[in-house]
Amino acid sequence: MGRDALGEFEHLIMLAILRLGPEAYGVPIIDEVEARTGRTVSEAAAYLTLRRLEEKGWIKSRVGEPTPERGGRAKRYFKLLPVGVRRLRESRTALVQMWDGVAAELDR
């Protein structure tokens, strides 16, 4: 694949990070994608994708403090980097251009 391909799942994960803002860590990211798309998201798939996105330099993570709850390993928070935002926008633009004019037909 090209050096800057963005798969559908990567796309969804990045959008979840964008939506969640400062509360973007593993579990809510998974919940957000599941809630909005209706598809099941396995933990491993999500965390693996998050690591790959970081290796590509599109997102960045930091480890937070453990919270005083019943259980609780420290959370890893994610945020989009400018390059990631740009890539996401490009991908969206491509799809919007292709959908232009046929979206209505698709819904019949």
Partner DNA sequence: TTATTTACTCTACATTGTTTAGGATATATA
Partner DNA sequence: TATATATCCTAAACAATGTAGAGTAAATAA
- The footprint of a second copy (CB under 8 A) covers 5-8, 11-12, 15-16, 18-19, 33, 36-39, 85, 88-89, 91-95, 97-103, 105-107
Residues 9-38 that bind DNA (CB under 7 A): 9-11, 25-27
Member of 3, 97, 101, 106 binding DNA (CB under 7 A): 3
Stretches 14-22, 46-54, 88-96, 100-108: which one binds DNA (CB under 7 A)? 46-54
Structure tokens at 1: 């694949």
Contact between 49 and 9 under an 8 Å Cβ cutoff? The reply is: yes
Which residues 6+ apart lie within 8 Å of 15 measured at CB? 88
Nearest-angstrom CA–CA distance, 47 and 59: 13
Number of residues forming the site for DNA (CB under 7 A): 36
